[in-house]
Structure 1
Amino acid sequence: MSELRITLDGSERVVAAGTTAGEALGADGRTVIAARVGGQARDLAYVLRDGDVVEPIAIDSPEGRAIMRHSAAHVMAQAVQELFPEARLGIGPPVENGFYYDFDVEHPFQPEDLKRVEKKMREIVKQGQRFSRRVVADDEAREELAAEPYKLELIGLKGAAADEESVEVGGGELTIYDNLDAKSGELRWKDLCRGPHLPSTRVIPAFKLMRSGGAYWRGSEKNPQLQRIYGTAWESREKQDEYLSFLEEAEKRDHRKLGAELDLFSFPPELGSGLPVFHPKGGIVRKEMEDYMRRRQQEAGYEFVNTPHITKSSLFEISGHLPYYGDDMFSPFEVDEVEYRVKPMNCPMHNLIFRARGRSYRELPLRMCEFGSVYRYEKSGVVHGLTRVRGMTQDDSHIYTTKEQMGDEIKSLLGFVLSVLRDFGLSEFFLELSTKDDSDKFIGDDADWAEATEALRQAAEESGLELVDDPGGAAFYGPKISVQAKDAIGRTWQLSTIQLDFNQPKRFGLEYQAADGTRQTPAMIHRALFGSIERFFGVLLEHYAGALPPWLAPVQAVGIPISDDHVPHLQKIASKLRDRGIRVEVDTSGDRMQKKIRNAQKQKVPFMLLAGDDDVAKDAVSFRYRNGEQKNGIPIDEAVEEIVKAVESRVQV
């Protein structure tokens, strides 16, 4: 029998020809569920070749979970077609924390349908059907999948499929995975798929179907709308329970729900999707956020500018946005036979301000900032509360520097950004460096890109934070650093961005007079600190579960009298607090005291001030905090100072 030499655990091994990856690894198919061979994920049944480097893929690794979830998606699709034979298959990839599959069905799935599908999936899992891979020619695949129009379309995309579709079609060969009966080997179901998969359906330890909804085929509104079923799958029931508990907590923190409960904002259907309005209490929070940012930026040497909401379309031809960003803009309209657009970003207008007169090196760095309203066409399927809107206010800044200044300016700017985010109560960060790849969506010279990327990388590395590379994620005009922040329950949010741009200054012909009298082109730094006021508002609301720190809370204190006789005493305290800038109310409603306390707790007011006969007699007040703690008989001046100190220090209570 001939032999093969392979590399396993870093050392060379000799195995018999015909040895599979699973046999070489001694895999049980439950903890090690696939193999990485030559850097590519493979089934355990993959037959090794001479010189292969073999590594195990564990089910609890990110790659292992993706394989398990992909297999769960296939089981779900099989269950759907057994229950709904008319269902035609779309695609079924793994996604973060789960999987989905798209189906063309006559009627949308109902909750009871999902229960039936999940029950059928459990039957398939229990049967232990084997996933078996086979390579097919294009014509064979078309013949076998003649009843699946969407699969036929994917066959035509071979080698050029999008990321989600590449789980179905990828590379230069087509493969079909058969689900085979564990005992008889009889074909039970099949799907066009690149794989790899688990050895058996029985290896899926825990799964649950979550919800269903509409989704356009291949993400285009021009295509048919399919029905998508989402599920989750984990390497153990304990891990799944942990994840489901996390989802429960996240649901409690949903900013859309909190926004309605706390009367902060709403989304009137008369305005259109993704266009929020802020109510008086939400307006207070926004004003506090903006006032704080104005003060910090003034202290850091920024100069405020203001630009209009609409402009001639030609401005975005100069900037380069139209060819690369046009799909994200709202359609143009005509004014006096000239084409206009609502602005999706502020940077081209800031460039015009820089260009409005001659500039000297003595003015640089020139830091312009604006709370600018911008409008972007987000597809209806991705609009989500405040975190994905169509109308937003960017806390935008554009900084013009010399090449010599830009490195220090970026480092200083990154420190400024992190300081501001920490003041809002966020403390865990990492950085993402988005760079260009070989695609044609980027403009400018490679040398400029290399210089800009290196400047950002140096600043990021000197920050001491973890740095993650994001190849191909840059803006079309330059690389960027994104500050990724973790919230109170461990979710990651992309917040501030810092982009270095050598291209727009050239396109707008921006110049300054250097110390030697020559005309030079400045470097341009784009900076969005919150990202947008709306999105950051939503992130903060979820981070604090609606219990905003006292300095941001719309109502910072509420007076609760035991009886109407105690109202004047609380009004006196409220007057003292208002004199110190505290937002305070006195509840004079006809509700009983306990209901007033519950109402204040539901509104997440930081301080409740209770007053009865003893408090009036002692010229004092009783404190009740959001966490239920209470202190009695606090002298009025002492109570006022405690509230003022908490607000001014920006601490959470």
Structure 2
Amino acid sequence: MSTVSELRITLDGDERVVPAGTTAGEALGADGRTVIAARVDGELRDLDHVLTDGAVVEPVEIGSEDGRAIMRHSTAHVLAQAVQDLFPEARLGIGPPVENGFYYDFDVPEPFTPDDLKRIEKRMREIVKQGQRFSRRPVSDDEARRELADEPYKLELIELKGSAGSEDGADVEVGAGQLTIYDNLDAKTGEPRWKDLCRGPHVPTTKAIPAFKLMRSGGAYWRGSEKNPQLQRIYGTAWESRERQDEYLKFLEEAEKRDHRKLGAELDLFSFPNEIGSGLAVFHPKGGVVRKVMEDYARRRHEEAGYEFVYTPHITKGALFETSGHLGWYKDDMFPAMEVDGGDYYLKPMNCPMHNLIYKARGRSYRELPLRLFEFGSVYRFEKSGVVHGLTRVRGMTQDDAHIYCTREQMVDEIKNLLGFVLDLLRDFGLNEFYLELSTRDDSEKFIGSDEYWEWSTAALREAAAESGLDLVDDPGGAAFYGPKISVQAKDAIGRTWQLSTIQVDPNQPERFDLEYQAADGSRQRPVMLHRALFGSIERFFGVLLEHYAGAMPPWLSPVQVVGIPIGDAHVPHLEKVAARLRERGIRAEVDASSDRMQKKIRNAQKQKVPYMLLAGDQDVSKDAVSFRYRNGEQKNGVPIDEAVEEIVKAVEARIQI
């Protein structure tokens, strides 16, 4: 048994005896650079946390997920200190760690400029170099109010203690129990240099922050509400080493090059005219070609898989969405009602209620099931202006939407077939790395339907996911209000994950619409409904593919597949003949007969990311040939026209990714 002067703790699975008063850092032998915090009895703690008898202690390394979050949170404190050093009038909001970095919100008279950010970052580096120590101390509510009397937003957080919880980062500052303040102490004198209301934990000293960079600033409403004041938010990134930060910054640079909004303008694919409205895209002729190819290919594959095509209107009476439950559960994401003929009409946010009416239009037999209805249906969702983002978050979209009606006995096999169909089609478009996410319900009141329905529908999805062989990640609480779903998460060429296809089991819509079929024994039975969006939306998938390929779409998806480039005007007829041969075989071919010099024509085609350039001069004409120039810069001279045509046609038909 341990004495008053000794403690028994568990470290690395082994029980040890240490002197009373031992800190987590001392027990771990932490250097404060590699191990920057501790997990004590399952809770994250500072290294100077004093241990109690029976404590279980684990190290938290700076490169771990928890370690990065702690280090980034500490960097946010350094940012806030630097801002108040340079801008004493700045009042503090909140400063949490976020994925890949951190931010801090400030109430300042004028927005921060790029020059301000440079000054702030320089001051941060000075603070880091000083090695100021993070020191935690508990305070009462009244003490916190007195010490932070000049910080109105902190005072508001104190009042919210125990009621705001995790709202918009407030949990970073306050919890339901004891308030704590962190002081930044001078490394030499121990005098406080700055303080903040915070739960912690933090790195031991500012020298434990190896690499950081301020990225940008922008406006952000206090606690995320448009009813509150707009503050200035400074974003930064921080990493466990300069090497990891350099990797991340290079990744951002590559991601910026691939931004589909930028590529959409450069390649003349689509735009978002202000005259139409936020989140509403128009597709230009070249973008229209890509979209048509995508839709035509998906349509053909659906026909082969036994789907039947339907079409439904863009608006409907509100009563339809009352029956489906969407007005009760989804109204905030719908455009406001329009009054027509004395009643409310809505732009449809989804197609499923109308497909239910098609199913219900006549009696159904078990012999017709599974019934697979498919539509390229335009839907409209009232996304907040702050989240609208190019094609990947729009207000008007076209879903490649399918609803499958089947018996309960058919459901598992149908889900397995659906998942295989989805993955095969995504692979055809050049995406090959996937994992699955299973979204289920939690204890929230937003979910409808019986426990039994949720149990067997979730089990069916889990069985299908297991058979796919892909990794499965659970997402409790992420289900739609009417049923669980599997989401296909796909990685792009630079490792980002995109949620694409979804498969949802819905036992509730058939109940709400009183859908039935006649079973083999003559009884009336309820079908199970499966929702399935393969691309998610055509617009979003277009944006994802554009970024995946950095605009250099594979030949079968390229708006212009071939450009003929004559060395001189005399060679134009020869290339026109080649282009005509290609067009006869379904290839999108053009000839650049402009007055530009040949080298500029090549550069123009490269900028437009055309897969094949066919050059022709006197020698090519005399040999009835062309010279290939590929998108990657490789060249092949003197290729007979017949061979050139066949090479291009085969690459397009095989959907080769070059």
TM-score normalised by length of structure 1: 0.98
Pick which of 93-102 and 4-13 moved more: 4-13
Distance 1:41 1:283 in 2: 53
Aligned length: 653
Q: CA RMSD in A?
A: 1.3
Match of 1:327 in 2: 332
Is the counterpart of residue 19 in structure 1 residue 22 in structure 2? Answer: yes
Pick which of 202-211 and 44-53 moved more: 44-53
Is the counterpart of residue 138 in structure 1 residue 141 in structure 2? Answer: yes
Is the counterpart of residue 570 in structure 1 residue 575 in structure 2? Answer: yes
Matches within 5 A, 1:452-531: 452-531=457-536
Compute the displacement of 1:41 (Å).
1.3
Compute the displacement of 1:158 (Å).
2.4
Residue type matched to 1:61 in 2?
A: S
Compute the displacement of 1:113 (Å).
0.8
**Aligned to 1:214, which of 199, 219, 234?**
219
Match of 1:394 in 2: 399
- SS of the residue corresponding to residue 167 of structure 2 reads coil
CA contact (8 A) 1:489 1:543 kept: yes
CA contact (8 A) 2:168 2:224 kept: no
**Cα separation, partners in 2 of 1:141 and 1:351, compared to 1, 3 Å:** farther
Compute the displacement of 1:269 (Å).
1.2
Match of 2:83 in 1: 80
The structure 1 segments of at least 4 consecutive aligned residues displaced by more than 4 Å after TM superposition are none
- Please list the CA deviations of residues 265-287 of structure 1 after superposition, one character each: whole Å capped at 9, or x if unmatched: 11111111111111000000000
Overall identity of the aligned pairs, in %: 81
Is the counterpart of residue 258 in structure 1 residue 274 in structure 2? Answer: no
Match of 1:55 in 2: 58
CA contact (8 A) 2:501 2:534 kept: yes
- Please list the CA deviations of residues 231-285 of structure 1 after superposition, one character each: whole Å capped at 9, or x if unmatched: 0000001111111111111111111111111000111111111111110000000
Ranges in structure 2 where 5+ consecutive residues have no aligned partner: none
Residue type matched to 1:95 in 2?
A: V
CA contact (8 A) 1:512 1:522 kept: yes
- SS of the residue corresponding to residue 204 of structure 2 reads coil
**Aligned to 1:98, which of 70, 92, 101?**
101
Distance 1:247 1:536 in 2: 21
- Please list the CA deviations of residues 547-595 of structure 1 after superposition, one character each: whole Å capped at 9, or x if unmatched: 0000000000010001110111001111100100000000000001111
Match of 1:584 in 2: 589
CA contact (8 A) 2:132 2:205 kept: yes
Distance 2:320 2:141 in 1: 47
Match of 1:553 in 2: 558
Matches within 5 A, 1:59-70: 59-70=62-73
**Aligned to 1:293, which of 274, 291, 298?**
298
Is the counterpart of residue 450 in structure 1 residue 455 in structure 2? Answer: yes
Distance 1:614 1:156 in 2: 84
Distance 1:26 1:303 in 2: 67
Residue type matched to 1:139 in 2?
A: D
Distance 2:92 2:129 in 1: 23
Distance 2:151 2:521 in 1: 70
Compute the displacement of 1:32 (Å).
0.7
- Please list the CA deviations of residues 518-538 of structure 1 after superposition, one character each: whole Å capped at 9, or x if unmatched: 222221111111111111101
Is the counterpart of residue 152 in structure 1 residue 155 in structure 2? Answer: yes
Match of 2:381 in 1: 376
**Aligned to 1:598, which of 577, 600, 603?**
603
- SS of the residue corresponding to residue 643 of structure 1 reads helix
Ranges in structure 1 where 5+ consecutive residues have no aligned partner: none
Matches within 5 A, 1:181-220: 181-220=186-225
TM-score normalised by length of structure 2: 0.97
- SS of the residue corresponding to residue 547 of structure 1 reads coil
Compute the displacement of 1:63 (Å).
1.2
Match of 1:115 in 2: 118
Match of 2:32 in 1: 29
Match of 2:619 in 1: 614
Distance 1:135 1:157 in 2: 17
CA contact (8 A) 1:43 1:199 kept: yes
CA contact (8 A) 1:215 1:381 kept: no
- SS of the residue corresponding to residue 151 of structure 1 reads helix
Compute the displacement of 1:163 (Å).
5.8
Residue type matched to 1:142 in 2?
A: R
**Cα separation, partners in 2 of 1:329 and 1:602, compared to 1, 3 Å:** same
Match of 2:446 in 1: 441
- SS of the residue corresponding to residue 166 of structure 1 reads helix
Pick which of 380-389 and 436-445 moved more: 436-445
- SS of the residue corresponding to residue 164 of structure 1 reads helix
Distance 1:301 1:165 in 2: 52
